[in-house]
Amino acid sequence: MTVGDDDFVPVILGTGVGAYNIARSLHEAYGVNSLAFGRVALRETHHSSILAVRASREFDEPEAIVRTLLALPSEFPGRRLLLIATIEFYTNVLIDHRSAFDERFIVPLVDRALADRLINKTDFYATCAQLGVPHPATAVVSPTHRGDPTVGEDLGFEYPVILKPSNTDVYPRLHFEGKQKVYLVPDARALRATVERILAAGYDDDLIVQEYIEGDETVMRVANTYSDRHGRMRLASVGQVILADHDPVMVGNNNAILSVHDAELTASLARLLDAVGYTGSANFDVMHDRRDGVSKVLELNLRQGATSYYAMAAGANIPARMVEDRVHQRDLADEVTTQERLWLNVPYPLAIVYAPRCLRARVRAAARRGYKHTLWYRPDLSIKRIVTVLRVDLRYTLSTVRYAKSGMNR
C-alpha cells in the first residue's frame, strides 16, 4: 500500500476507531492512505485499504516507539512525517521525546510545561477559574491527606460527589480491585474509603472531588477543537451525547453523538485555548448543568477524540485542518459547526431505542438528513472489511443491550 502523497505521510499512533477516524478524514480530504502503529492490530482497522497497520508488542515502551519512528525517514525519503497520537500514552511519548525528532517530522502538540498544566486536573481547574471558564465546583484531596478523618467534610457542595484522579497518565496504569475511571460517592465516609483504596494501590498524586451534575446522556456533551500554529482556536464542534457506552470498562466512551451549536461553550473554549497559547487538536468532556443552563468543562485531552467523526458529519474535517496548517503552512479561517447531524458507532435502530426519549425527535430529524458511522466508508468496503465492521457493530450492539438502561423509560 502506498501511503501519503508527495508532501507528507500521515503516521498515526494507535490502531482503534480513533485511528480509523483520522485515516478516513484524511482520505476523504486528500485521497491519501495512512500508516498506523500500535501494540496490537485492533479490529476497527482490520482489512482496511486506506490504512496500513504495523503492530508490535514493543509499542508499550517509549524507547521502542521513538526508535521505530526515527527509522521512518529512510523509508519515505523527501517527505515529511505528520505524527498524530490517538491516546494519552502516545501523546505523552511524542511530547517527552520531541527533541529527538528533526525537521522531517511534524509534531502538532503543545510543549511539556503546557501539557502538564492542562492534563493535571488540579492545575486545569485552577486555570479555568482564572479565565472564567465554567466548570463544576471542585475540591482537591492530596496524598498528604491519607488517614485524615476530616477528608470529605465541608466540601462546599452536597453529596453525592464525583471522585477522580488528577493525573490521567499514571492512574490508568494501576491495577486494583474495584478500580473505576470515576467514582460516584454517596457520603464522606465512602469518600475516605475510596481515597484510601486508590492511594494504597500506588497512586501518589491529587484526587479531584467534584459536584455531581445529575442526569443521563441529555446532560453529556463533548467538544473538539483545532488551534493553529500561532496559538489561535480556528475550529470548534460541539456534540450532544445521544448514547453513552455503559459497559463498565468502557465508561467515558460514546456510541452516538448529535452535533449541536453551543455559542457560550465555544466562546469559553476559545478564551481558554487562546489564553494559554494552545496549538493542535483538543477534546473536551462537558456537562450541561440543568440547574443554571451552563455547559461546564470537565477535562481536556491533548488530541482529538476517538469519536470526533461527529464533527466530520457536521462538516468539519479536523485532520485536514491540521494538514493545511502544519504541512502546507496556510492560514486558516474560523469554523464552528452549527448544524445538527448524527454520528453513530452502533446501528441506527439501536441509537433510537436507547436514546433518551426527549432527544429522539432531534435524532430522527438529523438522521433524515443523513448520518455517519466512522467504520462504514464506501471506498473501503471489501468483503473482508464488511465482515469485520459487522463484527464490530455486533460487539457494540450486544454490549449496549446488556448494559444500557432502556430508553423506553427515559
Reported as a pLDDT band with limits 50, 70 and 90, residue 249 is: low
Q: What is the DSSP letter of 368?
A: H
Rounded to whole angstroms, how far apart are CA atoms 218 and 139? 25
Query: What is the tens place of the pLDDT at every residue in 184-211?
Result: 999 999 999 999 999 999 999 999 999 9
Query: What is the tens place of the pLDDT at every residue in 329-366?
Result: 999 999 999 999 999 999 999 999 999 999 999 999 99
Rounded to whole angstroms, how far apart are CA atoms 244 and 354? 10
Question: Which whole number is the average pLDDT over 381-385?
Answer: 97
What radius of gyration do the chain's Cα atoms show? 21
Quick one: cell of 401?
A: 443491550
Reported as a pLDDT band with limits 50, 70 and 90, residue 251 is: low
Question: Which whole number is the average pLDDT over 101-110?
Answer: 95
Q: DSSP readout, 45-93? A: GTT-SSEEEEE-GGGGSHHHHHHHHHTHHHHSTT-EEEEEE-SHHHHHH
pLDDT of the residue at 106:
97
Rounded to whole angstroms, how far apart are CA atoms 96 and 105? 15
Task: Tell which CATH classification among 3.30.70.920, 3.30.1490.20, 3.40.50.300, 3.30.70.2740 matches the domain 137-211.
Answer: 3.30.1490.20
Rounded to whole angstroms, how far apart are CA atoms 314 and 392? 24
Instruction: Pinpoint the alpha helices (H) of 249-382.
Output: 263-276, 309-313, 318-322, 348-354, 360-368
Contacts of 382-387 with CB under 8 Å at 24 or more apart are 382/47, 382/49, 384/46, 384/47, 385/46, 385/47, 385/48, 385/49
> What CATH number does the domain located at 217-409 have?
3.30.470.20
Q: Is the pTM of this model over 0.85?
A: yes
User: Which residues sit opposite 241 in a β-bridge?
Assistant: 257
Quick one: cell of 64?
A: 521502542
Reported as a pLDDT band with limits 50, 70 and 90, residue 408 is: very low
Average pLDDT, the chain: 93
According to the 3-state scheme, what is the secondary structure of 111-175? CHHHHHHHHCHHHHHHHHHHHCCCCCCEEEECHHHCCCCCCCCCCCCCCCEEEEECCCCCHHHCC
> What CATH number does the domain located at 8-107 have?
3.40.50.720
Residue 407 has pLDDT above 60, yes or no: no
Dihedral angle sign, alpha carbons of residues 128, 129, 132, 138: positive
Listed residue (208, 203, 198, 211) closest to 141, CA to CA: 208
pLDDT of the residue at 250:
59
Domain ranges of the chain: 8-107, 137-211, 217-409
pLDDT of the residue at 206:
92
Reported as a pLDDT band with limits 50, 70 and 90, residue 409 is: very low
Residue 224 — left, alpha, or beta (φ > 0 → left; ψ -120 to 50 → alpha)?
A: beta
Domains 137-211 and 217-409 share a fold: no
Rounded to whole angstroms, how far apart are CA atoms 151 and 163? 12
DSSP, collapsed to helix, strand or coil, labels residue 233 as strand
